[in-house]
């Protein structure tokens, strides 16, 4: 089941952390009457029996002033972009309401609406009389667009009312993007896993694991193969021939009676695979393409369109390479070595500035505008919400984006690119 991200937002001291603790039924966040107690986004991953797997963000108050306040606000709004459900907490006792006309609340509501989030208002009751609440709600949500609940958040037994409220009112579509298109149970999927020197021993990488599990679960047989890329790319022709013979031998064996339906390769092996499978009658794609299609909820086409921006790069322009994790870098690392080298080779050394973003850090909307193109990895360590939030930021900033598998296939020619996107019903 897909994980739902629930973000908690509001002013300082409205009871956001108290709400977090109500949801988790635990002292997850520090609750204190000092304004600004929560300084950063606090994330908790858990299973709520009635809702399934959830990720909850407790955030800093949006109304804090000053430079530090601005930084906190940026982080809080980033969490909002990654939320599916936005819980806006209102402390009815807050005197600031009378002076600033709910500007903080309106800012939260505006961003949530712009990003298509589901928003609920949680009136933290403390112990205020009903009349006050009615007065406030008419100002915050005059059109009565949002469902709301009134609760004393500090009272732990109110948990059931809150969960029931979310369950009843959330129309969250469980959009299910399949990891792979429909495949045949009677035909084989060939997984080309070159395994780098630095790959951790004892397990496959996440995309490899996920795809293998996905297929086997659906009774689709797989064949895992380690190509020796060093030999396949060797300057010694006999080494290349030997490696090709081994590969061709397995392909011929598996493809007897056309039993091979798809080959999925690590993107960095696309230079070899595209040549060695040129006339194949089975489909070919890359792990990175499968992952980005899944994580972008089926929006692979946007990443394919981004290749156009690559073709049009001009000296002096900037490109960002973004990876979703901080793995060990090896000598022929795709993001830090292979793609930058290729860019130098195609556009002249140093003519295109290449910047890197690793892990959960991603450029803010302002910085994004400096880039002509963002080249993203498969993103396997990120979730669908994080990738969607990045895509929305990129679209808003007018920056094109593509993906490792798409770009490395494009380097091998239009035909190679068409081949790897064909399983997803795409063509350029
Ligand atoms: N009596 C009562 N006190 C509450 C309730 N909810 C919050 N409080 C108190 O209000 C104060 C602020 O609560 P927090 O949950 O820390 O508020 P916050 O929104 O996380 O605040 P910041 O992290 O500073 O932005 C604390 O002293 C809480 O004990 C409630 O339902 N009843
Ligand atoms: S997050 Fe990106 S760079 Fe890290 S392992 Fe996954 S695909 Fe590779
Ligand atoms: Mg707090």
Find, among 347, 352, 350, 320, the residue nearest to 336 by Cα: 320
Residues of the chain with CATH 3.40.50.11420: 188-290
Residue 425's pLDDT is what?
92
Give yes or no for residue 323 CB within 6 A of ligand 2: yes
Give bridge partners of residue 56 from the DSSP assignment: 6, 44
Residue 132's pLDDT is what?
61
The atom number, within ligand 2, closest to the CA of 404 reads 7
Q: What is the CA(202)–ligand 2 centre distance, in A? A: 18
- Cβ-based neighbours of 103, under 8 Å, separated by 6 or more: 63
Query: What is the C-alpha separation between 427 and 282, in angstroms, rounded?
Result: 16
Contacts 24+ apart (CB under 8 A), 275-279: 275/412, 276/244, 276/247, 276/248, 277/251
Q: Is 1 helix (H, G, I), strand (E, B) or coil?
A: coil
pLDDT in tens, 355-413: 999 988 788 777 898 999 999 999 999 988 889 889 988 988 899 999 999 999 999 99
Residue 173's pLDDT is what?
54
Residue with tokens 């009677």: 186
Query: What is the C-alpha separation between 301 and 428, in angstroms, rounded?
Result: 10
**Which CATH code fits 298-411?**
3.40.50.11410
Task: List b or e across 226-235, with b for residues whose CB sees 16 or more CB atoms inside 10 angstroms.
Answer: ebbbebbeee
Q: What is the CA(304)–ligand 1 centre distance, in A? A: 47
Residues of the chain with CATH 3.40.50.300: 4-169
Q: Looking at the CA of 295, which ligand is closest?
A: 2
Residue 52's pLDDT is what?
76
Residue 68's pLDDT is what?
67
Angle at 122 between CA 119 and CA 127, to 5 degrees: 170
Residues of the chain with CATH 3.40.50.11410: 298-411
pLDDT in tens, 36-70: 888 899 999 888 877 777 899 999 998 877 666 77
Residue 393's pLDDT is what?
87
Find, among 185, 180, 267, 257, the residue nearest to 222 by Cα: 185
Residue 227's pLDDT is what?
97
Average pLDDT by consecutive 10-residue portion of the chain (428 residues)? 86 94 91 86 85 88 76 91 95 77 91 94 77 74 92 92 90 75 94 85 91 96 97 97 98 96 95 94 96 92 95 95 84 88 95 93 83 94 88 89 95 94 93
Protein residues whose CB sits closer than 6 Å to any atom of ligand 1: 10, 12-18, 31-33, 35-38, 60-61, 124, 126, 152-154
Per CATH, which fold does 4-169 belong to?
A: Rossmann fold (3.40.50)
Give bridge partners of residue 188 from the DSSP assignment: 260
**188-290: which CATH architecture?**
3-Layer(aba) Sandwich (3.40)
């Amino acid at each position: 089941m897909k994980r739902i991200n629930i973000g908690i937002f509001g002013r300082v001291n409205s009871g956001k952390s108290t709400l977090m603790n109500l949801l988790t039924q635990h002292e997850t966040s520090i609750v204190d009457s000092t304004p600004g107690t929560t300084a950063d986004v606090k994330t908790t991953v858990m299973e709520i029996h009635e809702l399934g797997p959830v990720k909850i963000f407790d955030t800093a108050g949006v109304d804090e002033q000053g430079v530090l306040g601005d930084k906190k606000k940026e982080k809080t709004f980033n969490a909002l972009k990654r939320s599916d459900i936005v819980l806006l907490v209102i402390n009815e006792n807050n005197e600031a309401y009378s002076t600033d006309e709910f500007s903080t609340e309106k800012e939260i509501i505006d961003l949530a609406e712009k990003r298509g989030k589901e928003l609920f208002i949680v009136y933290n009751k403390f112990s205020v009389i009903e009349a006050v609440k009615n007065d406030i709600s008419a100002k915050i949500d005059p059109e009565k667009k949002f469902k709301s609940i009134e609760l004393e958040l500090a009272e732990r037994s109110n948990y059931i009312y809150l969960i029931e409220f979310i369950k009843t009112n959330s129309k969250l579509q469980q959009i299910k993007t399949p990891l792979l298109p429909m495949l045949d149970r009677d035909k084989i999927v060939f997984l080309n896993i070159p395994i780098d020197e630095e790959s951790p021993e004892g397990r496959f990488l996440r995309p490899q694991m996920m795809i293998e599990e996905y297929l086997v679960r659906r009774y689709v047989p797989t064949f895992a193969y380690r190509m020796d890329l060093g030999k396949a790319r060797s300057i010694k022709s006999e080494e290349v021939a030997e490696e090709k013979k081994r590969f061709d031998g397995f392909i011929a064996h598996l493809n007897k009676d056309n039993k091979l339906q798809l080959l999925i390769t690590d993107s960095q092996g696309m230079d070899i695979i595209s040549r060695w499978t040129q006339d194949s009658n089975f489909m070919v794609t890359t792990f990175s393409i499968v992952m980005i299609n899944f994580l972008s909820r089926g929006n692979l086409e946007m990443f394919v369109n981004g290749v156009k921006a690559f073709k049009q790069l001009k000296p002096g322009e900037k490109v960002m390479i973004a990876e979703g994790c901080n793995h060990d870098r090896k000598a022929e690392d795709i993001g830090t070595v292979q793609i930058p080298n290729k860019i130098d080779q195609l556009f002249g050394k140093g003519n295109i500035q290449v910047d890197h973003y690793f892990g959960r850090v991603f450029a803010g909307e302002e910085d994004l505008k400096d880039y002509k193109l963002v080249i993203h990895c498969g993103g396997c360590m990120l979730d669908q919400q994080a990738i969607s939030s990045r895509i929305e930021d990129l679209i808003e900033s007018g920056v094109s984006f593509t993906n490792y598998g798409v770009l490395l296939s494009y380097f091998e020619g239009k035909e190679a690119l068409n081949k790897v996107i064909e399983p997803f019903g795409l063509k350029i």
